Amino acid sequence: MSQESTVHGELEAPAPDAAPAPDAAPATAGVPEPGAVTIVVPTFNESANVRQLLRLITESVPARLPCEVLFVDDSTDDTPDVVREAARDCPFPVTVLHREEAVGGLGGAVVEGIGAASSDWVVVMDGDCQHPPSLVPELVATGERAQAQLVVASRYIEGGSRAGLAGSYRVAVSRGATWLTKSLFPRRLHGISDPMSGFFAVRRSAVTADVLKPLGYKILLELAVRSRPRTVGEVPFVFRDRFAGESKSTVKEGLRFLRHLVGLRMESSPARMIAFGLIGLTGFVPNLLALWALTGAGLHYLPAEIVANQFGVAWNFLLIETLLFRERRRHRHWADRTARFALLANADLLLRLPLIALLVGRFGMAVLPATVLALVTTFVLRFAATEALVYLPRKGRTRKGRTAKSRTARRRSEESRTEESRTEESRTEESRTEESRTARSTV
Q: Is the pLDDT of residue 12 over 90?
A: no
Q: Write down how long the chain is.
A: 443
DSSP string, 337-370: HHHHHHHHHHHHHHHHHHHHHHHHHTT---HHHH
User: What's the pLDDT at 168?
Assistant: 66
Tell me the residue ranges of DSSP E strands in 218-317. Answer: 232-236
State phi, psi for 143 to the nearest 5 degrees. -65, -40
* CA distance linking residue 269 with residue 172, whole number of Å: 32
Residue spans of alpha helices (H) in 25-118: 47-60, 79-87, 105-116
Domain ranges of the chain: 2-265, 269-393
Q: Is 33 left (phi over 0), alpha (psi -120 to 50) or beta?
A: beta
Residue spans of alpha helices (H) in 329-443: 334-361, 367-386, 395-442
State phi, psi for 65 to the nearest 5 degrees. -155, 115
Q: Is the pLDDT of residue 74 over 70?
A: yes
* CA distance linking residue 277 with residue 142, whole number of Å: 45
What class, spelled out in words, does domain 2-265 have in CATH?
alpha beta
Pick from 224-228, 254-258, 387-391, 403-407: least confident: 403-407
User: What's the pLDDT at 413?
Assistant: 44
CB atoms within 10 A of CB 176: 10
User: What's the pLDDT at 219?
Assistant: 82
Region 14-26: what's the mean pLDDT? 40
- pTM for this prediction: 0.62
Contact between 329 and 301 (Cβ < 8 Å): no
* CA distance linking residue 122 with residue 39, whole number of Å: 6
Residue 32 DSSP class: -
Confidence grade of residue 169 (pLDDT, cut at 50, 70, 90): low
Q: Is the pLDDT of residue 247 over 50?
A: yes
* CA distance linking residue 264 with residue 188, whole number of Å: 11
Contacts of 285 (CB under 8 A, 6+ apart): 315
The closest alpha carbon to 60, from 18, 95, 105, belongs to 18
Residue spans of alpha helices (H) in 320-333: none
Contacts of 409 (CB under 8 A, 6+ apart): 115
User: What's the pLDDT at 166?
Assistant: 56
Mean pLDDT of the chain: 76
Angle subtended by helix axes 136-146 and 47-60, to nearest 10: 60
173 three-state secondary structure: helix
Region 98-115: what's the mean pLDDT? 84
User: What's the pLDDT at 108?
Assistant: 85
